[in-house]
Structure 1
């Protein structure tokens, strides 16, 4: 099943995402090939078998993650959080998904986060309650709409497919390699969100100051620091992060003349 319009996704994809993906695929392919050769040579250590078991491990982890949302989360529907449900439906239609992903509110315990994943033919979005409150009790629906557009963007761009996640599984545990692809994917998802709800981009201030203080934060001031707050350790923090640092990420949402900075 194809998720999203390939031509539209190409236009919104970070230009270096596919290059980073190829590097990750190559790393995983080399690791699996090496493990297979060692297993055929009769190596008795468990390492080759562990590497060869990764496809099953990825399948198991994805299935368990989906089940956890289904049994512990609050499913967003026409009856439960109908406004958020309309946002999910609107985003799925905007990016021409073949079906509307499931969506859940899950306990945040103070964490501001949301994520998208899948299992089998299903795709789903989970939003931490602390972030979901921004669009509900704190009355900033555009911010929530941007978040939902971002997560649906991950699905439309193919980031949550089983084969992709298996293909990058080894690279993901190597510092800086998998994280670089992840940052490119975040920029791609931001591009989807910006097209879906441009007025909601400043809702990302919640990542910098939390759900109660973010309205007092100057989005542009954080973005401007992308040019002033630089240096070796800033680059190192970004290199090891799965998401672009806030200054670079906010700047990429303001300055649309160039893609978000990866390194």
Structure 2
């Protein structure tokens, strides 16, 4: 296996999304996207004990043209949408929604958030859809922790949980199309791992915490994206501290991207059509009860 070299590090600066503090390593002025990955938000917040969970989180809002995918590390997320889906996924699981031609959804803390510790830690990753699939029927796939395929390596010092795709011969619990490799990795101090990945994929890892030594590069600390070059067929790293990592890879689309808020399309005309369709109720209506 030939290791990819590191292209650059992207620090996840703190910013506000409404009244919620988040970290955002991209998009930035340096990197608009890591095709087909459009945006990464890392939130780690304490649920307000004086706010009803039904009034917390993110209320009903539309999407079209991409997949917002949520990886849950602490707490849980209560998803409801205009297609009738209503489910809670807890820590260790993921929610994968293909917005397709348009859907309205909400993302709230679960009703028992305070009974399970009161903290919500999630990563939301926006994955662009190919032009040919932007008007597909919307679809929602919840994946509980117990259904995430797991592989334990290096005498237990590395735990790999595969949400989608195929990582280290472990097939993920969600069949994403086009193929996206998405996995969470917990690596202990002194643990190491080598991960083959398709040479035609764009690849990055994000460190939620801890510290790694990336082979051929050196030390990387928490809250950084490591963006790799397309010059090899794998990556390898070792833990300098206990570290949690999100690993993703996919073949780039190499298509025009025009975005406006919750809509990601290929032209300004398509954005205007999305805005019109939402205003006319063609993406459905979500009434939370």
| The two structures share one fold, judged by TM-score above 0.5 | no
Q: TM-score, length-normalised on structure 1? A: 0.29
Greater share of helix residues, 1 or 2? 1
Q: TM-score, length-normalised on structure 2? A: 0.27
